[in-house]
Amino acid sequence: MDVLIDLDGTLVDPKPGLIGSVQYALDRLGFPVPPADALLWLIGPPFRVSFPKLLGTPELTELAIAHYRECYLGGAMYDAIVYDGVPAALDALRAAGCRLFVATSKPHAYARPILERFDLARSFAGIHGPELDGTNDHKGDLIAHIIAREGVAPERAVMVGDREFDVAAAARNAIPTVGVTWGYGTAGELINAGACALCPAPAGLASMVLGLRDRAGRNGSQQPPVQLSHGGAIGNSAMCGKC
């Protein structure tokens, strides 16, 4: 089984460095600088989508990104925290024979050194993100690129991410998504986007993903629906019939 995993909000909490760099860019542009908590919606989508919304115009997008990168590449990119339980979850998935790939909206030129700094890069067969010029900025395009580049079979793959953008991009490529609720997306956001399962903590991620693999193996393409549970849990998670 191939597992595509988001970076920000899934493997690491990037808030201090990422949001701090956005605030730096706003200040350089002469814009008011909101508090960090008012900017959390920027974690997830590519900046060429979010900066025009933040600035109220697309005309300053590339300049904003340039200022952002000044701060981010100056060291803020490493101002992040690995979520508790993530390394163990990755180890468990690899031990079970899964191939792991990073699929992030962050340029791969940044993602790789971040993962290396936190000793996570060794867990992945490939680390994929957009090019600095915006190629594969749309996560659907990025996942299509990963499928072609790595020989991923969508029917034997799963996406893991914390935002609706992850779910939609994977669905565009016929890959189901396990939504994680320890990041920056809400359970409601993930359910409404079509996530097939919700995982509340990294400790339950490997068993959830492997459970999906085992269900697929038992039932082939005709899988019986399992209703989403809000009160109870299935393996410390909630699952619905889209998986």
pLDDT of residue 72: 96
If you count them, how many residues does the chain have? 243
Same domain, 67 and 168: no
Question: For residue 152, what are the domain limits?
Answer: 2-12+81-239
Q: What is the CATH number of the domain that holds 54?
A: 1.10.150.240
Same domain, 43 and 110: no
Q: Confirm if 141 and 168 have CB atoms less than 8 A apart.
A: no
Same domain, 131 and 235: yes
Domain end, chosen from 55, 78, 101, is at 78
pLDDT of residue 91: 97
Same domain, 46 and 164: no
Same domain, 47 and 111: no
Same domain, 29 and 105: no
Domain end, chosen from 28, 46, 78, is at 78
Amino acid at site 158: V
Same domain, 73 and 193: no
**How many structural domains does the chain have?**
2
Same domain, 180 and 89: yes
Same domain, 19 and 8: no
d(CA 173, CA 150): 14
Domain end, chosen from 61, 78, 95, is at 78
Same domain, 111 and 94: yes
Q: What is the CATH number of the domain that holds 203?
A: 3.40.50.1000
pLDDT of residue 241: 47
Element (H, E) at 167: helix 164-172
- Strands 12-13 and 81-82, sheet pairing: antiparallel
Catalytic positions are 6
pLDDT of residue 212: 83
In tens digits, what is the pLDDT along the chain, a chain of 243 residues?
A: 999 999 999 999 999 999 999 999 999 999 999 999 999 999 988 899 999 999 999 999 999 999 999 999 999 999 999 999 999 999 999 999 999 999 999 999 999 999 999 999 999 999 999 999 989 989 999 999 999 999 999 999 999 999 999 999 999 999 999 999 999 999 999 999 999 999 999 999 999 999 887 776 655 544 433 323 333 333 344 555 456
d(CA 105, CA 139): 6
Same domain, 47 and 68: yes
pLDDT of residue 151: 97
Q: Which residues of 140-150 are buried (b: 16+ CB within 10 A; e: fewer)?
A: eebbbbbbeee
Where does residue 101 rank: exposed (0-12), middle (13-18), buried (19+ CB within 10 A)?
A: buried
Same domain, 215 and 105: yes
Instruction: Identify the CA nearest to 6 among candidates 210, 146, 135.
Output: 146
- Strands 238-239 and 197-199, sheet pairing: antiparallel
Any idea what the Cα angle at residue 79 is, between residues 78 and 80, rounded to 5°?
90
pLDDT of residue 57: 94
d(CA 62, CA 10): 27
